Amino acid sequence: MKKLLFFTVSILAFITISAQKISNVDFDSVKTALDANQGLYKELIDRFKKADSTLSADEFKVLYYGQCFQQNYKPYGGSGKDFDKFKEHYEKEDYKKALPFALKILDDDPVDLKMTFKTLVCYHFLNDPENKAAMQMRYENILHTLFLSGDGKTRETAFVVMRVSDEYEAMNNMQVENSSQSLSGDCDVMTLKKNDYGLESLYFNISKPFGSLKNLLKN
């Protein structure tokens, strides 16, 4: 009986310890790093905003996946007056007027991949190579971090995203399009149109943004 009880407790302990490992992302280790240094996330964000080229792969992992441990985590952003103004000017290709709103949004939410790319586009059309390069560095490194999270081929090896809009940034970068979308457990499954990879679908784990939405609705 004691052996059975010990075995049960051990299994439960293992489940608890490994519960935050999703694909290749160990959220427990990310949280441990943040808990060990209360000022770490702000420090990383400040360096990221400056397009610091010395940021390591591990630091980008904490930067991207550490979002869910921040009070201002907004996985379903893209609303509000600033975004509406940005969208209005951006769709008219008035990038000079769109840019200040984009920068304001990114100042509040620096790791927003969609807005980072659109800001990069603004700098491109405004012929500002220096700021374009800085924004490109930010965009590519966060996207690379996302791609390191898995291979997207199965639920168990899904790409781990911190917001649903990141799924589309990943697919745009891979130059694939989805023909339909469905939910399988904690994953968005994108059924793909014919593509150079020969992939029929891509899996994106959305447990963190979905969990945030559930908590929001609960409160």
Given this model, what pLDDT does residue 200 score?
96
* 99, 122 contact by CB (below 8 A): yes
Per-residue tens of pLDDT for the chain, all 219 residues: 433 333 333 333 333 333 489 999 999 999 999 999 999 999 999 999 999 999 999 999 999 999 999 988 888 865 688 999 999 999 999 999 999 999 999 999 999 999 999 999 999 999 999 999 999 999 999 999 999 999 999 999 999 999 999 999 999 999 999 999 999 999 999 999 999 999 999 999 999 998 776 665 565
Beta carbons of 66 and 72 less than 8 angstroms apart: no
pLDDT (0 to 100) of residue 132:
97
**Position 111 in a domain:** yes
- 39: tokens are 């000022």
**Bridge partners for 22 per DSSP:** 25
d(CA 152, CA 129): 33
7 within a domain of the structure (yes/no): no
Inter-residue contact 181 to 169 (CB < 8 Å) = no
pLDDT, residue 157, reads 97
Same domain, 74 and 50: yes
CATH number at residue 85: 1.25.40
One domain, residues 88 and 55? yes
| Same-domain status, 51 and 85 | yes
Structural domain span for residue 173: 159-218
